[in-house]
Chain A
């Protein structure tokens, strides 16, 4: 064990952990919201994210940019980022809606048992990922150099880059916006009503299918934003980019308390930090081991996750 390296790099590990965790958190929202309303684990959510990454890369390609382009001017970069975020969020949101309408809604109409939903979710995930895999010849699509990582804050030996600040800042803003939307608006109340008692919600005049669509759409939008953050951080994407990250995001959702919005944030950040500290302590090859041991240990003591309670009960 490398205690020395952990202490030496504690600040650095914390910063990178938070940035990674912020991506997990935004990604996890889709799992947690859909679970909160439908008690369904939407495995196709990882592909919703993946579609978001390709939408951004394609959009930047439309502007004539590829990985060999020179870094554009500041104004152009801001515009390109905005375009990338919008395209990814829209594409991911629409993809999530399509999954709901094509795969799940017909099953709900037939009152299918939970296992059928689960298999359908896995099937939908495979179909989307394979379709993109075939379409892209399973190649990596690289991102044009929009932002060169540069240190903007330096505290001791800890440096914080512009990309990290963008990721964490934007993730927090999106979380607050979503929290206010669900907590304070009429539509958000409708979502919580369906999560807490679907029959009662119908008796209040809530259109359940509309709420479900809204939930898939919102989860997709957030995954799309996470997708661009991922691109900025990693530099490229592939048809299976959603798979591994999706497992992590789902873990984050369970860790924080699935069904709970704030739990997704907490779970995401906790997972990102734990992974990084773990790889500092044991070496990077232990990263995923640490993540899942953490999950098991927390669930042992708190079977419903850190914040427990569903979107319903915790007044998230």
Chain B
């Protein structure tokens, strides 16, 4: 078990956004987390990456309790989040953004190798190397955010709505890239509004509703589930 959330709660001030959720992610999996707006998907991601402190429960990574570990130290352990809205540094060039991904690393030779791999996987970034992050198109920013995360050599990649605001063609492309990253050995936890895509690509999935996990199963099981179909796939 690479990641385990055990009865995790999280509050924003007096508002409780997560009411004791438990989930696991095995090494090598793509796990999807779906749910309506405000269900707590992004909050779950923040609990895992450490951007927000827990109010209860525990996050374990590689069988170690990391509940109180600072976010920047979780990156060094291999947990890397691509935040909702991408979080590209607007005033940095594409190259500098990618260099930020390797900020915590010292292995210069391996960093150069990884940069080449990222450019092979996302050739658009090579073309736009010198352009400021803030002036990229939405799809390009998403690719940059993913490429930058890969530069951190994640063991667990947290993707928060990678398809948000993108054209169908680009969405296909992004999901293919996600599967390719997974084939190359990175475990992925994927948050998506686009339940159809997410469930068909994920090994397993959880459904989140107002801060609680209400359902889980393989991607296929949930795709065929009538309640899920009705609520998230837009078919009665």
Contacts and interface: CB of A to CB of B under 8 A. Distances in A.
Interface string A195-237: 0110111111111100000000000000000000000000000
Contact of B92 (A192, A199, A206, A208): A192
Nearest to B86: A200
Contact of A196 (B75, B89, B103, B148): B89
Interface string B3-45: 0000000000000000000000000000000000000000000
Given A202-B72, A313-B134, A196 B92 contact: yes
A190 interface: yes
A201 B80 CA distance: 11
A200, A201, A208 pick with most chain B CB within 10 angstroms: A200
A11 interface: no
Given A202-B51, A205-B76, A315-B132, A193 B90 contact: no
A126 B51 CA distance: 35
Interface in B91-142: 91-93, 96, 99-101, 103-104, 132, 134
A106 B21 CA distance: 31
Given A189-B100, A197-B89, A315-B132, A205 B83 contact: no
- Chain B contact residues, majority secondary structure: mixed
B71 interface: yes
A186 B152 CA distance: 15
Contact of A203 (B51, B96, B132, B134): B51
Contacts of B92: 189, 192-193, 196, 315
A201 B99 CA distance: 12
Interface in B38-87: 49-51, 70-73, 75-76, 80-81, 83, 87
Interface in B141-168: 148, 152
B91 A315 contact: yes
Interface of B: 49-51, 70-73, 75-76, 80-81, 83, 87-93, 96, 99-101, 103-104, 132, 134, 148, 152
